[in-house]
Structure 1
Amino acid sequence: MTVAQAKSTGLLGQKKFADSCDGYDLAAHPTPANSVGLYFSKQHGLVAIFAQDTMITPHGIKLGTTMKHVRSVFPKAEAGPNGLQIAVPGNKSAYYSIVPTDDAKKVGELALATTNQDCFG
């Protein structure tokens, strides 16, 4: 999905920055000053959605879920640059990026990203 296509849905919020990738918020889920809800790659379009508020994966993972539960749902999760990188079941083109809280007990950041994303980590 391109930025123009996302804007046409009416769900795209404020543009936060532009660099190698453009960072936006979802209109219904504004983020703090130094974070974004979505990344758009200039080459690939929408490449990442960062979970906000009550967003939840089909596997029951959301912000605040215990890392113990994440590991029970995804026992083969691999360590990524900042936490866990988990292939999305049934979708070879996407993965979950899960960054634990500072005490490593709960999910502090959760993103759904495409395997070809070129915006972070």
Structure 2
Amino acid sequence: MLEQREKIATNIRKGVLEYCVLGSLASEDKYGLELAEELTKLHLTAGEGSLYPLLARMKTAGLVETRWEEGGAGRKRKYYSITDRGRVMLKEFRAVWADITEQVEQLLGGQDGEAS
């Protein structure tokens, strides 16, 4: 059962990860490792390996932009920030997510798995 549960969770995470990144960046700009640690802590991604390719695709799509800043010990860090296009996409996702959540709850019903 646990294996099946994790498979379901993984599929859902894959579908919403891009929007979770946008949601995180909506409150403040973050550098890559900081964002990866936040998402890993929340069990939304396995780590940096899956995040950086997603961030590159999001940048190409115009959802995020980057800039370099000095970090600790003289190292530069690449910071990610949400664009206006990304904010529009996040707003749309929030509306769709609310609708889907309500629809799924109606179909799933109670805790025992029986539809209401």
TM-score, normalised with respect to structure 1: 0.24
Going by fraction, where is helix more abundant, 1 or 2? 2
Going by fraction, where is strand more abundant, 1 or 2? 1
TM-score, normalised with respect to structure 2: 0.25
